[in-house]
Amino acid sequence: MRTEGGPGPEIWLRGPVDAETAEPEAVRQRGGLPHAAVRRYSWVGTHGGAGVSTLAAVYGGHDCGREWPGPDAPHSVLLVARTHAAGLAAALRAVEVFRRGEAPAGLDLDAVVLVADAPGRLPRPLVHRVNVIDSVIDVYRVPWVHAWRLGEPGTGPPRGTEPLVRLTGAARSRGAADE
């Protein structure tokens, strides 16, 4: 986005952008984003049991488990962690790996996806840790989904994850999972 008054540096905004200004007119006239604009992602778990396989099944993308993406996998990374204390600490450590430039060359960290470790609200100390992560990278939250616990990820993305659906290009099914 350029500022008025002539050429200058591009300014990148973090967070939601108004859809009217985010899409070029030609794209809006065609009724959506061109196929080439949909980015593919590699889901990388920051700890065991983070939910990488479930997220890859529900939102699409490449399931890397706890490994870095290989040469044939998308180089855009979504780090995954649970919202318990150990999961949030692991997510922050993984973000630091990218910040220090220690991640494998060519990988781009796009966001952290936090999967609820239990139903209900997070305790304040955990909310504070989420806010620390959110201060350095985009964070997407996925609520507790009882059906996923039973091994039924085929019900679609849960309510409240529309920003993650837009990011990944996942189609929200009719029978989307509920909390």
Residues of the chain above pLDDT 70, percent: 73
User: What residues of the chain score a pLDDT lower than 70?
Assistant: 1-38, 154, 172-179
pLDDT for res 172: 54
pLDDT the model gives residue 38: 63
Structure tokens at 119: 């139903």
pTM: 0.76
Position 152 scores a pLDDT of: 81
pLDDT value of position 37 = 55
Q: Distance between CA atoms of 90 and 45, rounded to whole angstroms?
A: 9
Distance from chain centroid for Cα 142: 9
pLDDT attached to residue 68 = 97
What CATH number should be reported for the domain whose range is 38-168?
Answer: 3.40.50
How far apart CA 135 and CA 167 sit, in angstroms, is 19
Give the pLDDT score at 154: 66
First and final C-alpha spacing in the chain: 38
Residues 54, 153: contact at Cβ < 8 Å?
yes
